[in-house]
Amino acid sequence: MKRWTKYIGTRLFYMALTLFIITSATFFLMNALPGTPYNNQDRLTQVQLDMLNKKYGFDQPLMQRYVNYLGNVLHGDFGVSLQFSDQPVATLLGQRIGPSIQLGLQAVAFGTVIGVFLGVIAAMHQNRALDVFCSLFAITGRSVPNFVVAVLLQFIFAVTLKWLPIGLWDEGFRSTILPTLALSISPMAESCRFIRTEMVEVLSSDYIELARAKGMSEIRIAFTHGLRNGLIPLITVLGPMTVSLMTGSLVVENIFAIPGIGEQFTKSILSNDYYTIMAVTILFSALLVSVIFLTDILYQIIDPRVRIEGAK
């Protein structure tokens, strides 16, 4: 137990350090970008510019602003958005992160379950018709952009069949179905391909042969001994995949008119919205770092071989 505490303590320290470095690097890089956050800067006089800079504190030396910013962030103050009439960034993101996270999680969960299932079936029928079918599906899924799928789904299920809403975020779960499906194509294809490769190897290992010699059926072998071992490495790719989906997809969110965060990030970069860029970056990094941390913990729980020394 003590080892666990120490292990987690060390990991948390490095996570904080990572976030600090990312935050600092982004801060300085961002300030090196050309232009100002004011969208009508060409028409501003020098006097007006000076006034605005003074208002937002941009007249101070860079180092001073950096220290101030860090201090504010530590107190939970992420500044105000320059493009959305001085609204606090935290409020803005808070309103929009919900849908993105929900869609991301749903897409990963659905995509992975289906993908893993297809991957196992493919591996069990290696180089036969079902395998070829699953592989074709995986290749298609990986090469067709998700917005194409999104438009297609929208056309079939919303426009033609009228089963589901065409967009917006106002019908609860029903609103999430089509965007979730569109976003789930990539985790589905990715995990199908990944699990197939992994399972082909696992299914040829000695302990699977022993399971056969015990008298177990192929399907039971694949989904117990096979999957237990094949799934472990998937955890590693699943983490980052989840984060990239949770942080929103600009195009899919646009197609379905979803008030998500993907759109906001892109806009904030284009318009030099300093505090929004910083906040979104910190948020993404924090998510990623935490997911990697959770992945490692999960690994240790699932795989008895990598449990930390002496942590029995």
Partner 1 sequence: MEPILQVNHLSVSFDTYAGKVEAVRDISFNLQPGETLALVGESGCGKSVTCRTIMRLLARNANIDQGSVLFRGDDLLKKSNREMRAIRGGKIAMIFQDPMTSLDPTMQIGRQIAEAVTLHSRVSRRDAKKRAVQLLHQVGIENPEKRYRQYPHEFSGGQRQRIVIAIALAANPDILIADEPTTALDVTMQAQILDLIKEIQKATGTSVIFITHDLGVVANVADRVAVMYAGRIIEIGTADEVFYDPRHPYTWGLLASMPTLATDSETLYAIPGTPPTLIHPAPGDAFAPRNAYALEADRIADPPLFPVSATHLAATWLLDPRAPQVQPPESIRLRAEEYRQKQSAKGASL
Chain residues binding partner 1 by CB under 8 A are 205-207, 209-217, 225, 228-229, 232, 302-305
Q: Which CB, 100 or 229, lies closer to partner 1?
A: 229
Nearest to 243 by CA among 188, 287, 180: 287
To the nearest whole angstrom, how small is the minimum distance from the Cβ of residue 113 to partner 1? Answer: 20
To the nearest whole angstrom, how small is the minimum distance from the Cβ of residue 220 to partner 1? Answer: 9
Contact 233, 297 (CB under 8 A): no
Q: Which CB, 116 or 277, lies closer to partner 1?
A: 116
To the nearest whole angstrom, how small is the minimum distance from the Cβ of residue 62 to partner 1? Answer: 52
Q: Which CB, 95 or 205, lies closer to partner 1?
A: 205
Nearest to 104 by CA among 245, 202, 236, 244: 245
To the nearest whole angstrom, how small is the minimum distance from the Cβ of residue 171 to partner 1? Answer: 42
To the nearest whole angstrom, how small is the minimum distance from the Cβ of residue 216 to partner 1? Answer: 6
Nearest to 89 by CA among 251, 281, 245, 291: 281
Task: Name residue 212's amino acid.
Answer: R
Q: Which CB, 172 or 215, lies closer to partner 1?
A: 215
Q: Which CB, 244 or 295, lies closer to partner 1?
A: 295
Nearest to 204 by CA among 217, 191, 221: 221
Q: Which CB, 95 or 217, lies closer to partner 1?
A: 217
To the nearest whole angstrom, how small is the minimum distance from the Cβ of residue 130 to partner 1? Answer: 14
Q: Which CB, 34 or 304, lies closer to partner 1?
A: 304
To the nearest whole angstrom, how small is the minimum distance from the Cβ of residue 207 to partner 1? Answer: 4
Q: Could you tell me which residues are beta bridge partners of residue 261?
A: none
Q: Which CB, 25 or 301, lies closer to partner 1?
A: 301
To the nearest whole angstrom, how small is the minimum distance from the Cβ of residue 199 to partner 1? Answer: 14
